[in-house]
Structure 1
Amino acid sequence: MNYADFIEVVARRAGVPSEKAEAVSRATLETLTDRITAGQASHIAGQLPVELRQNLHKTTTAMGAQIAESFELDEFVERVAARAGVDVAMADAGMRAVLSTIGEVVSKDELQDLVSQLPKEFWEIIQAGARVEVRPRSA
């Protein structure tokens, strides 16, 4: 899926104008990067449009760790709202649209790896757009 199509799908699913869909898409990806490891962020970025890949760039700590923060969906939405400069309701709708679109465009293997790093409430949203059933990989 190219960038214009990705933004169009997010805008339609979230019920927002394209400009807001762009802002919320970038903010959602940046916030997702807070929540997952750098390696996983890189793998997901490689399957998204080039214009969105920079939003999945994760820096490492001084000791080289690629730490994923642990926070729930409510905080995720608040971070998206702050980054995108939108209200919480628009951030929630947009974040859901972005995550379900990721579910549509990213390979099953990468989706399984992604949901393995997230609580169930996240992977239920991702599953909404996935072409196949996605569940965390078994340990």
Structure 2
Amino acid sequence: MDHDTFIGEVQNRAELASRGEALSATRATFQTLAERIDEGQATNIAAQLPDELARIIEEEADTTESFGFQEFVGRVAERDENLGSEDDDRSAAALHARAVIDVLDEAVTEGQIEDLRDQLPGEYDDLFELAEADGAPGQP
């Protein structure tokens, strides 16, 4: 999947008004995800993405932190240029992150998504909610 298609899909699924908003949501989600997963996994995911998107992940992949899903959403909200720290913005950040992961699910191999899920505790299952609803591979 190329960069423009990826961002367009995020815009559509998150129902964002512009491609700029979709890029901001994607950047915020990828930066936060790269902080949460190990460097090898981040590198593997980045290798399957267009260069512009891969760089976002690779820039943050040098450290791995352990934090819960609510902290993940909070970091996405802080980084997304169109959101803030209010509760409504945190809900929007969760929706945006789900849309980004849903598109990521289509952009990389099934094995990469499984490996990603394996690195995250069960509380992160909500992050994969859209992909599961769409009948992603391995889902009933």
Q: Could you tell me the TM-score, scaled by structure 1's length? A: 0.82
What letter matches 2:14 in structure 1?
A: A
- 74, 79, 82: which one pairs with 2:75? 79
Instruction: Name the structure with the higher helix share.
Output: 2
Shift of 1:56: 0.8
Look up the match of 1:137. Answer: none
Task: Report how many aligned residue pairs link the two structures.
Answer: 128
Q: Distance in 1 between matches of 2:42 and 2:76?
A: 17
Distance change in 2, residues 1:81/1:127 (3 Å): closer
Q: Distance in 2 between matches of 1:128 and 1:89?
A: 15
Q: Deviations over 1:107-136 (max 9, x none)?
A: 1111111111012243453363374117xx
Look up the match of 1:9. Answer: 9
Q: Is the 8 A contact 2:98 2:129 kept in 1?
A: no
Q: Is the 8 A contact 1:102 1:126 kept in 2?
A: no
What letter matches 1:41 in structure 2?
A: A
Q: Is the 8 A contact 1:10 1:101 kept in 2?
A: yes
Distance change in 2, residues 1:52/1:88 (3 Å): same
Q: Distance in 1 between matches of 2:61 and 2:120?
A: 19
Deviating beyond 6 angstroms after TM superposition, the runs of 4 or more aligned structure 1 residues are none
Q: Deviations over 1:49-95 (max 9, x none)?
A: 211111111454xxxxxx52111111111101111131323212111
- CA RMSD, Structure 1 to Structure 2 (Å): 1.9
